[in-house]
Chain A
Amino acid sequence: MGRRPTRDRRPLSARDKKEERAGFAFLSPWLVGLFVITIGPMAASLYLSFTDYSFLDSPEWIGLENYQRLFSDTRFHQAIGVTFRYVIVSVPLQLVVALLVAIVLDRGIRGLALYRSAFYLPSLIGGSVAIAILWRQIFGADGLVNWALALIGIEGRSWIANPDTALGTLIVLNVWTFGAPMIIFLAGLRQIPAMYYEAAGVDGAGVLRRFWNVTVPILTPIIFFNLILQLIGAFQAFTQAFIISGGSGAPSDSTLFYTLYLYMEGFGNFSMGYASAMAWVLVVIIGAFTLINFIASKYWVFYDD
């Protein structure tokens, strides 16, 4: 914090104090953000999760009732099921696609910057209203997918409207927005020294062998980093489902993501206390998943140093 590293606790000189003040001044935008829009609301929501709060009148303490209600709320169970399916399918799929595209781009094709931008583009617009409309055009009854299927003689159905397949279209949408992990993979691939490949080549390793025994092990820290990031993001997925389902988790709650249900309960159903309890349960779920991954990472992530 602008202070020289000293072991003894000598009193701060006037200059040190001035520097310290300056340090805090520079930090203040971040500190204000931390306390006003992160820690403050978090503390408030923790309190509200133990209350009956409609946001129109004052909160009333009800203890653990909100948390108990989660056990018997079938829509909440549905939301958990939908979210887990989404996370478990879309996160690995997205990482695989991101890695494969990154490897192709890493082979030094011409116009790399252009391709990199082009592949990154979906990540920028993936949550927009325009994409929601585009998705209807692609996966609707008269959409692009069915048009393509008709060419090979298969009669499709409305993928986006059917409760069995609607979640699948959202998973495809998420996989399609693989730009962010791809960029990180690309940076990681760039750092693998060419001599490793040369050495493996001399030892007679083919392309696949080199991928499995050189690229993947060296990339494991990057894979781990991406996995954690995407996992946390996927648990909190909201925008696509909100826009594509018209904010209702339709059809038949098949796209009722956790955060979407939380939002509906809080802002649509006047149950802000219940929604806060859900938010905290989500914190615990995400925390647990992250912890498990950190523990498991000891067995498959290799650090160079």
Chain B
Amino acid sequence: MCPTRRQVLTGAAALAIGGGLASCRGGGDGDGLVIDYGWWGSPEKDDAVFAAIDAFEAATPDIQIEGEATPWDGYWDKLATMSAGGSPPDVIHMSERYILEYGERDALVDLRDLDGIDVDTLDEMILGLGESGDGALYAVPAGLNTFILAANVELFNEAGVDLPDDSTWTWSDFYEISAALAESGIVGAGYGFGIESFRPWLHQHDETMYNEDGTAAGFSHEVLVSYLEHLLTMREHGGPTADQVSEYAAVPSEAGLFSTGQQGMEWVYSNTLGERSEAAGAEMRLLRIPSQTGAAADAGMYYKGSEFYSISAHSDPEEQAAAAQFVNFMVNDSDAIQEIGMIMGVPPNREVVEEISDDLDEIDQHVQEFVTDLEADLTVEAPGPSPIGSGNIQGIFDRDVLELLYDRATPEETAEKIIQGINSELG
């Protein structure tokens, strides 16, 4: 009858649910040191990571890795619960959204303090994605990524629509193409609303997501309104209905409209193209974001690290050293990268990527080339980890933009609510 007990029970229930969905494997069959490694995953990624773990264990017989994969949604609740109980995994898969939340609260070690990880081999720009403002390296990027558009080539062909020239296209080209796709009875293009697609829009208007010290929104009411109006324009040009957005919000992206071949274009993290293409059973291509001017350099695209390796500050020094050895293997060893491919983004060790690039399958090769070539069009510096409190901001977009799409709020009202929400999360 008391909520605390309830809390414990629901926590336990959530764990049980998460545990039911999680796949867990490894450890226990030797007398060496056992290191826990938790990540969020999809079936494809889990297979790749387990294969990389096997390669590590073959090369390092005295260390065993006990891997545990959880879907994205349950992963953070679980990590929080385990951290609250003082027993997080030794190696923690991190997102840029939570690096500072955990790092600045002393839950993660500065990886430069450990000997085992050779970071000199990694691209400096990529390394910066995991660095805090005062230079602590709480997380090593597992890959370089960008949030960008993807096209289902087969649906384009079926609709008789040409793929755009993505280095010159503008938003009005984008609207037209989406509308043309929708005429063939599918959804044209998704909205991708949220921090990652809003950022290029902001860059196109010379504004930024956060203020300098990360304590408030860094953009103006007007530009947010223009972004929201742009979403409504997309809705009129083949965007999904509010019902569709709402229904698919709760299902994993592999089961969404785009990944099941019912939608022509979608906003994606570049590393997910392979599994989406597989899920849809269709050829897919990445596309640059449209600009206002018709020049890709004006599109305000940016690199982003979405997956990182961190090491828990709770682990004892011996475990941390072994964990560092494992992380080093995952980022610097070609056997590991061979297995992981592009599934966490383009790996940060460029030499190793070069070494294995001939063995990549066609779609991974496309992703690798696209992300690497994109550098020429980037004018915005890759942002570091998101400020503390930003973990909920996507949720603010999710609920307030849905109200907009249901016509229950105007762009003006929605903008006001979003800015208020962001400022209260960060402040």
Contact = CB atoms under 8 A, between A and B. Distances in A.
Interface in A56-106: 56-57
B398 A259 contact: no
Contacts of B377: none
A157 B398 contact: no
Interface stretch (B168-176, B228-236, B239-247): B239-247
Nearest to B88: A56
A96 B395 CA distance: 37
Contacts of A171: none
A136 interface: yes
Interface string A11-54: 00000000000000000000000000110011011000000001
Interface stretch (B75-83, B112-120, B185-193): B75-83
A268 B76 contact: yes
B312 to A, nearest CB: 11
Nearest to B85: A55
A152 to B, nearest CB: 21
Contact of B399 (A37, A251, A262): A251
Interface size class for chain B? 35 or more
A201 interface: no
Contacts of A272: 84
A267 B101 CA distance: 12
Contact of B3 (A57, A249, A283): A283
Nearest to B417: A74
Nearest to A33: B5
B392 interface: yes
Interface stretch (B102-110, B150-158, B329-337): B102-110
B362 interface: no
A263 B243 CA distance: 26
B14 interface: yes
A41 B5 contact: yes
Given A141-B244, A158-B243, A244-B250, A163 B403 contact: yes
Given A239-B10, A269-B392, A141 B247 contact: yes
Nearest to A250: B249
Nearest to A45: B4
B250 A267 contact: no
B266 to A, nearest CB: 19
B221 interface: no
Interface string B17-61: 100100000000000000000000000000000000000000000
Contacts of B73: 246-247
B14 A55 contact: no
Nearest to B108: A56
B247 A140 contact: yes
A250 B399 contact: yes
B2 A283 contact: yes
Contacts of B242: 161-162
B402 interface: yes
Contacts of B403: 163, 252
A232 B2 CA distance: 10
Interface string B308-333: 00000000000000000000000000
B83 A286 contact: no
A238 interface: yes
B3 A280 contact: yes
A252 B402 contact: yes
Interface residues of A, number: 52
Nearest to B249: A250
Contacts of B392: 268-269
A133 B197 CA distance: 30
A236 interface: yes
A160 interface: yes
B10 A263 contact: yes
A141 B242 CA distance: 11
A266 B10 CA distance: 12
Nearest to B425: A269
Which of B20, B400, B406 has the most A CB atoms < 10 Å from its CB? B406
Interface string B249-262: 11100000000000
A42 B247 contact: no
Nearest to B21: A129
B13 A239 contact: yes
Given A162-B243, A252-B399, A267 B77 contact: yes
A158 B107 CA distance: 43
Interface in A275-294: 275-276, 279-280, 282-283, 286
A136 B247 contact: yes
A251 B246 contact: yes
Nearest to A287: B1
A56 B107 contact: yes
A161 B243 contact: yes
B35 to A, nearest CB: 21
Interface in A122-163: 129, 136, 140-141, 157-158, 160-163
Interface string B80-100: 110110000000000000000
Contacts of A266: 7
Nearest to A53: B84
Nearest to B81: A267
Interface string A255-266: 000010011001
B408 interface: yes
A242 B1 contact: no
A269 B246 CA distance: 23
Contact of B8 (A41, A129, A157, A270): A41
Contacts of B13: 239
B8 A141 contact: no
Which 7 residue pairs spanning A and B have beta carbons closest together?
A161-B246, A246-B250, A279-B3, A56-B105, A158-B243, A55-B84, A161-B247
27 contacts: A45-B4, A55-B84, A141-B247, A161-B242, A162-B243, A163-B406, A238-B10, A242-B10, A242-B14, A244-B250, A246-B73, A246-B249, A246-B250, A248-B395, A250-B398, A251-B399, A252-B400, A252-B406, A259-B3, A263-B7, A266-B7, A268-B80, A270-B80, A270-B101, A279-B6, A279-B7, A280-B3
Given A136-B247, A239-B13, 18 more contacts: A42-B4, A55-B84, A56-B106, A141-B247, A161-B242, A161-B244, A161-B245, A163-B403, A163-B408, A236-B6, A244-B250, A252-B402, A259-B6, A262-B3, A263-B14, A269-B392, A272-B84, A279-B6
Interface of B: 1-8, 10-11, 13-14, 17, 20, 73, 76-77, 80-81, 83-84, 101-102, 105-107, 242-247, 249-251, 391-392, 395, 398-400, 402-403, 406, 408
